[in-house]
Amino acid sequence: MSDVMLKEIVGRYTLSIHEIGKKAAQGEIVGDLIRSQVRRCLIEMQEADAEPDAIRAIFDDLARLSPESSPPVGPQTSKILAAMKLHVEFFLFMEEHHKQDGSPRKKDGSGFGFH
């Protein structure tokens, strides 16, 4: 899986999450929308055969945006990126431990992790 393709997937979801952040800043109730978007992003990345280490690296790069490569990151954007990173780590942790546990998924494919 190419990093360019994975970054494209993350980029689309990041734009969506920024829009959710703007709504939250205006006082709208957004609930678990950020978590939901991160989950969808991870599912899409997993379907593209991304490994957990590659996923982590891409989200680490997002959190370390340099001023030369992009506009300055404001406090609201920093909070959104931090929330995204926390959700990514949680989902990856759950998925990895679910695989180690060897617990079978339910017939409908649900269970712990992304699915």
What range defines the domain where residue 60 resides? 3-101
Is residue 74 domain-resident?
yes
Under a CB-based contact definition with an 8 Å cutoff, are residues 42 and 114 in contact?
yes
16 is a domain residue: yes
In the chain, the number of structural domains is 1
pLDDT tens column, 42-57: 999 999 989 999 999 9
Measured CA to CA, the distance from residue 90 to residue 87 in angstroms comes to 5
Indicate whether 34 belongs to any domain.
Answer: yes
Query: Exposed e or buried b for every residue in 21-56, given b needs 16+ CB within 10 A?
Result: beebeeeeebeebbbebbbebbebbbeeebebebbe
Answer yes or no: is 110 within a domain: no
23 has a pLDDT exceeding 90: no
Please report whether residue 78 resides in a domain: yes
Does residue 113 belong to any structural domain of this protein?
no
pTM confidence score: 0.76
Confidence category of residue 111, pLDDT binned at 50, 70, 90:
very low
Please check whether residue 114 lies inside any domain of the structure: no
Contact 65, 12 (CB under 8 A): no
Predicted local confidence at residue 107, as pLDDT: 44
How high is the pLDDT of residue 114?
Answer: 56
- What pLDDT shows up at residue 83? 86
* pLDDT over 70, % of the chain: 76
